Amino acid sequence: MIIPKITAVLGLFVLMACSQKPVEKITNSIAEQLKSVKGKGILFGHQDDLVYGKNWSYVDGESDVKRVAGDYPAMFGWELGGIELQRTHNLDSVPFSDMKRLAIKGYLMGGINTFSWHPFSVVNGESSWNTENDVVKHILPNGSHHKEFLIQLDRVADFFKSLKTDDGIAMPFIFRPWHEMDGTWFWWGTKNCTAEEVKELFRFTINYLKNKKGLTQMLVAYSPDRNFTTLDGYLTWYPGDDIVDIIGMDNYYDLKIQDGEKEAVKKLHLLIGYAKEKHKLAALTETGLENVSDSLWFTKKLGKVLGDSLISKELSYVMVWRNDPKVHFFFPYENHSSATDARNFLDQPEMLLLNDFNKLKKINN
Ligand code: BMA
């Protein structure tokens, strides 16, 4: 009898299709753009690039990356700390009004915006770096300060919702909360909470912003620091494939110590392996050498890591930290001893600044 046989075979197919977890399709335009240029180059990003540099502040059109390398970065990093207190300026004195205006400008120029958030605790009012008291367990659902934490999240959501173009387009962006949770320096770090607690906090934060606040234009990056040696170790705090889009890592240390590049490469390989398996994107979400004290750091350290054959094909972006006129800088300013090296590094075809990124997007369309 052929009919029962066909039915059985069909049934088997249906069963197989149902038991296989569907591959999550990321439709966010950032994800599409990053996927479309993957293998052709790595986007270069810089925190606070459009608002101040080593020798200037709040001059529209300026950028230390542009001054040194001739073009804007393809990715703009921003910090939200202070928004939860309804401050007008973030914890690094950047007015939120400028951040909003310039993030939208960066988006309209073709770039990608990514936001970090170092909130003040609702439990004791202290900064993210104060680890004297435990905070996380108190802000989770059922915690003593959960309601107050929701107010903080509402303010973050209000800011994100305000990121709209004049045509009413909700600007897509990357959010990278609760990063470096494997370190001991933040109140969401290993000194103050368990992996389960930080996972729950991460899940709650994203579910609230996406499901309650409708921020579906957001991609989410997971970024522990470099304290892991295996994939299991890396995933210790991972909040889940349904929450995370970008498989990231912050890593200053390995790119500072002698021969640390090998470690950085190994760790990025773990991230890339996982990102490939899960159809996600991989990124070096924060790095840099404080005050670029090694004049060949860009080509010899960062360049060596990113030049690895797998990493150069699979990594989506790398971002260096901010150039504060008073505190520290991670990208050289004009005439700094490492300016030529940074320019040479960014001149490589595989490193994408804004124009490179825009051209590649056009070719792919
Ligand atoms: C740190 C330093 C601080 C800054 C914080 C948040 O790495 O740059 O000065 O306040 O990031 O941007």
Q: Is the pLDDT of residue 5 over 60?
A: no
Ligand 1 pocket member 134 (CB < 6 A): no
Instruction: Pick the residue whose CA is nearest to atom 7 on ligand 1.
Output: 321
| 291 Cβ below 6 A of ligand 1 | no
The structure tokens listed for 109 are 């120029």
What does the alpha-carbon distance between residue 359 and residue 208 come to, in Å, rounded to a whole number? Answer: 36
pLDDT band with cut points at 50, 70 and 90 for residue 230: very high
What is the bridge-based pairing of β-strands 75-79 and 351-352? unpaired
Q: What does the longest C-alpha to C-alpha distance in the chain come to?
A: 83
The answer on pLDDT for 264 being more than 70 is yes
Return the pLDDT at 365. 67
Q: Which of 185, 320, 327 to mutate to test the pocket of ligand 1 (most atoms within 8 A of CB)?
A: 327
Average pLDDT over residues 118-128: 97
Residue 187 — very low, low, confident or very high, per pLDDT cuts 50/70/90?
Answer: very high
- Compute the average pLDDT of residues 286-299: 98
Per 3-state DSSP, the chain is made up of helix, strand and coil in percentages (nearest 5) of: 40, 15, 45
**Residue 189 contacts residue 144 (beta carbons within 8 Å):** no
Give the pLDDT mean for 4-10.
Answer: 46
Residue 322 CA, ligand 1 centroid: distance in Å:
8
Model pLDDT, residue 66: 98
- Please compute, for residue 298, the number of CA atoms within 13 A of its CA located in the half-sphere on the CB side: 25
CA 319, CA 250: separation in Å to the nearest integer? 9
363, 33 Cβ separation under 8 angstroms: no
Look up residue 253 and give its two tokens.
């240390």
Q: Is the CB of 327 under 6 A from ligand 1?
A: yes
9 or 172: which leads in pLDDT: 172
pLDDT above 90: residue 10: no
- The pLDDT value given to residue 4: 46
- Contacts of residue 343, defined as CB under 8 A and 6 or more positions apart, other chains included, come to 68, 69, 70
User: Which of 360, 337, 341 minimizes the C-alpha distance to 303?
Assistant: 341
0.85 exceeded by pTM = yes
- Mean pLDDT of the 187-194 span: 98
Identity of the amino acid at 64: D
Contact status, residue 246 vs residue 316, Cβ threshold 8 Å: yes
Q: Which residue has the higher pLDDT, 95 or 22?
A: 95
- Helices and strands counted in the chain (H then E): 13, 11
